[in-house]
Amino acid sequence: ELLARLEQQNSQLPPQDSTQFLLARLERQNDMLDNDPKSVCIESNVLKANMDVVQSLINDIKTPEADKIDWDFWTALIQDYTAVATKLPHLLAAKLQQGLPSKLRGLVWQSMSQASSTYLETMYSQLLSESSPYDKIIERDLARTFPGVELFKEENGHGQTMLWNVLRAYSLYDPLMSETQAFCVFVRLMETYDMRTMFTLNMEGLQQRLYQFSGLLSQILPKLHSHFHLHGIQSAMYASQWFLSLFAYTYPLPLVFRIYDVVFAEGAPETIMRVAIALLKKNEEKLLSFGEFEDLLDFLTSRLYETYNNEPTGLIKDAMELSSVITKGKLDELSDSYVHDMEDQKKRAEELVAVRFNGRFDRSKKDKKKDDSKKREKRSGDNRWSLNPSLPNSRHSVATMQNLTRSNSSSMLHQQIEDLVTAYSHLQKEHAEITEQLVGIKMEKIDLVNEVDAL
């Protein structure tokens, strides 16, 4: 009866373009979890019981927020997210654009990500008793994580202890890379939301996302894309942190929470792309006015959100309106193009290695043939000289000179190719190092500003 009433509300809403991501994400997640032995989930009545407790507490406190919460909708979602997303996609998309009720956010995220896993909760308890090879790295980063948030300010306090436990447990769960519920959600986020490959050794996932982002930027904001190219601004310099932290590195938490609301429903890469393009589109005129590399990079990494006056709803609305332009089909097309380009690059690299190898092999064969030819010619010349010492060996001399000329020309050409390849390789390496240094300096500057603000 409740679902039927909500379906009526859903039918009265105009179609939402973002539902393409919502339904695609749900289908992919269900397929992955069906084939995952670790996905055994707790009965939905556990989350429903927690929901009842939260509702009772909020109603008892009588907060202004309580009257604005659509309890019927959120109760239905927490009880059966798959049914709600399938039957009420337009209503769900509209609710996401408005923002999740802050008091229910934790329960809704668990339901959306299907993170209530008995397997993961049991594993978490076991992992807490083990030591991690990444303990020192995690400990070093704890104090720098959300220094402005009250929960994490106190050194070795309750917040830092909980974060320490979650990160240590995950580092053991995936060696290549309450607390229990946070751990389960984190695992789902990494495994079923296409986040894990962005943190593996070669960061293949990050490279693919940056390729897709650059493609979208060139198609949707061509003037801005050309302006960045003119001033040496590459996507990796400012967008990497968006993909790696889901905007949490430099943006305020109220906005980050709203972004995560959409991420859990519609997917991480799909959401980040739309938010990123929305930010650039909103600031296009301002960005085009900058003529210096440093000014552009500074604005891109720290000031894009200023135009929204710290109002998350405006940015979320702009991002979701891009769903008709940044479609799933477009992202899939760019993904295929990335794979094709990587294969072409690999093929060209293999061909170049083959040319260099064959060049050396051909030269060695030619040198051997030339030596043999010289020996034969010398013997022949000696014989002819002994028979007729007055006869000039002109043919022999001309042939020898031609062979030497061709050999020298070929050797010089191969050497020039090798020199060019070596120089190009050095330039690429130097460019990557300079880019990494610039981004590192920028990140250190942001860290210092955050530390000063915290004081």
Range 392-421 burial, b when 16+ CB lie within 10 A, else e: eeeeeeeebeebeeeeeeeeeebeeeeeee
Q: Percent of the chain beyond pLDDT 70?
A: 71
- Dihedral, 416, 418, 422, 428 alpha carbons, nearest 10: 90
The pLDDT of 58-69, averaged and rounded, is: 74
Q: Work out the mean pLDDT of the chain and round it to a whole number.
A: 78
Domains of the chain: 2-116 (no CATH), 204-326 (1.10.472.80)
Would you place residue 398 in the very low, low, confident or very high pLDDT band (cuts 50, 70, 90)? very low
Q: What is the largest CA-CA distance in the chain?
A: 123
Residue 391 has a pLDDT of 40
Residue 143 has a pLDDT of 72
Over residues 156-197, the pLDDT tens digits come to: 788 888 877 887 776 776 665 566 777 777 888 888 888 888
Neighbours of 306 (CB within 10 A): 11
Considering only 24-38, 155-169, 437-451, which range has the smallest mean pLDDT?
437-451
* Residues 104/74, Cβ–Cβ less than 8 Å: yes
Would you place residue 423 in the very low, low, confident or very high pLDDT band (cuts 50, 70, 90)? low
Q: Give residue for tokens 């405006």.
A: 314
Which pair of structure tokens corresponds to residue 155? 């050194």
Residue 102 has a pLDDT of 86
The answer to pTM > 0.75 is no
Residue 243 has a pLDDT of 92
Over residues 6-22, the pLDDT tens digits come to: 999 999 998 888 888 88
